[in-house]
Amino acid sequence: MSRIGADHLDVSTTAGSFDLAGHLAGLTGQQAAIVAQEVDVAVTDLELALSRQVHQLADELRRRVADHAATLAATDWEGASKQQALAVEQALGADVGQQLAAAVALVEAFGTSVRDQATTYRLGVEGDFRAAMQVADEHYLALAAGSRRYLAELQTADQTIRFGG
């Protein structure tokens, strides 16, 4: 038992707690970087799946519009009303094409935006956050080392007092 106001076990336990806190801070930075990379991959996968789906739907709709136009053109129907119907079908097909192109562009822009945000997030976690956790780890390790030095000095002082030095 210590003779000068500090219990060796308390100081030793505190040093161990600092070690553990530092280790956990460093581990948190590493795990956050892994999670950020997983988010980055998931966002890329989502972006690709969404883009592929929109492109497939747009292609299918374009095919259907073309099929309808071909069916209308192949009918036995003759005269000005058929020409008007063909013109309306052609205008509708053009409008659908423009809307699909706009929708595809929006999806691609959205995907790019989300991808950029995910990349910024990942880089921030891998850089600033991980660096901050590393600094915390280093500080806690320094505190643990300081606590152990203090403990060693207490033990030396106790020995000196115990043996009348």
* Domain boundaries of the chain, sorted by first residue: 8-162
Tokens 């492109």 -> residue: 55
pLDDT of 124 higher than 50: yes
User: Above pLDDT 70, what percent of the chain?
Assistant: 95
pTM: 0.57
Do residues 129 and 29 touch, judged by C-beta distance below 8 A? Answer: yes
pLDDT grade for 6, boundaries at 50, 70 and 90: low
Confidence of residue 1 (pLDDT cuts 50, 70, 90): very low
Distance CA 82, CA 35 (A): 61
pLDDT, average across residues 114-140: 87
How far apart are the C-alpha atoms of 33 and 125, rounded to whole Å?
A: 6
- Give residue 33's pLDDT: 85
- With tokens 């990379």, the residue in question is 37
Q: Closest Cα to residue 115, out of 31, 35, 46?
A: 46
Tokens of 97: 């094409």
Between 105 and 11, residue with greater pLDDT: 105
Percent of the chain with pLDDT over 90: 1
